[in-house]
Amino acid sequence: MSVLKALILGVIQGIAEFLPVSSSGHLLVTRNLMDLGDVPVLFDVLLHVATLIVVLFVFRERVFVLLRSLGRWLIRKSDESDKYNLNMIILIIVATFFTGVIGVVISEISFFENPKVVSLFFLVTALILWTTRYAKPKKDYDSVGWKEGVFLGIAQGFGVIPGISRSGITISTGLINGINRDKAGEISFIISIPAILGALLLELKDGGALVSEVGILPLVAGFLITIIVGYFSLILLMKLIKGGRLYLFSFYLLLVGIAGLFFLP
């Protein structure tokens, strides 16, 4: 893989992982159009790790508070102030479980790798985003727990399907379940942390293939550009969520999905 192609894939990952348009779907279609052939799965996972770094940086205060409350609970020194954070940790654990179960099943279905099928799921994501126009989010962290974790985990599991935006479906699920706009976006990305780490651990066995088939320089270039582009994409997305404008991406996905159904092989 050339450095230019790695940069293109990195830019797409940085934009589409955060903006609700499906990074996996865009990467698959791009690889098809650029005739890249089979790129090791670990390359995609490492691009996701780059976006994970962005998530940890942007939400570092929330992550620190959660870890602090977890630490207090482990040493049996938690108090009333940790209650909401511990509820959030339960939500993360439950969501991760359901994501893992559904994600493993879906990852075995090669049918989803067809570009036309991806285009169809772009349209599904467009419909999901459109429904957020009718959400009435009010819940804060003090009102969320394992029940919301079930719905978010299932949604994130289906986000494994190329064309279904992980951020789009989880944020939409949060909003439809009444979680307020600020927290729905934050929760969506915080529950992605264990999912990305799990995917990385599963694919580490292909590390040798990654270096030999992709190359060090393209790998580094794709990784760094993903971090840079991803940071600005996430900041933009959070502003759009707060403004109740998540549904605007449905217009883009509608166009891309229809075009893909007609013109992709």
Q: Write down the pLDDT at residue 157.
A: 92
CA distance 172 to 156: 11
Task: For residue range 96-131, list pLDDT tens digits in order.
Answer: 999 999 988 887 776 667 888 899 999 999 999 999
Q: Is the pLDDT of residue 34 over 90?
A: no
Rg (CA), the chain: 18
As a whole number of angstroms, the longest Cα–Cα distance in the chain is 60
φ, ψ dihedrals at 179, nearest 5°: -75, 135
> In terms of residue numbers, what domain contains 100?
3-263
pLDDT confidence band for 81 (50 / 70 / 90): confident
What does the pLDDT look like over 162-202, one tens digit per residue? 899 999 999 999 999 888 888 888 999 999 999 888 777 76
The pTM is what? Answer: 0.88
Please give the tally of structural domains in the chain: 1
**Cα four-point dihedral sign 207, 209, 210, 215:** positive
Which of 7-16, 139-148, 216-225 has the least mean pLDDT? 139-148
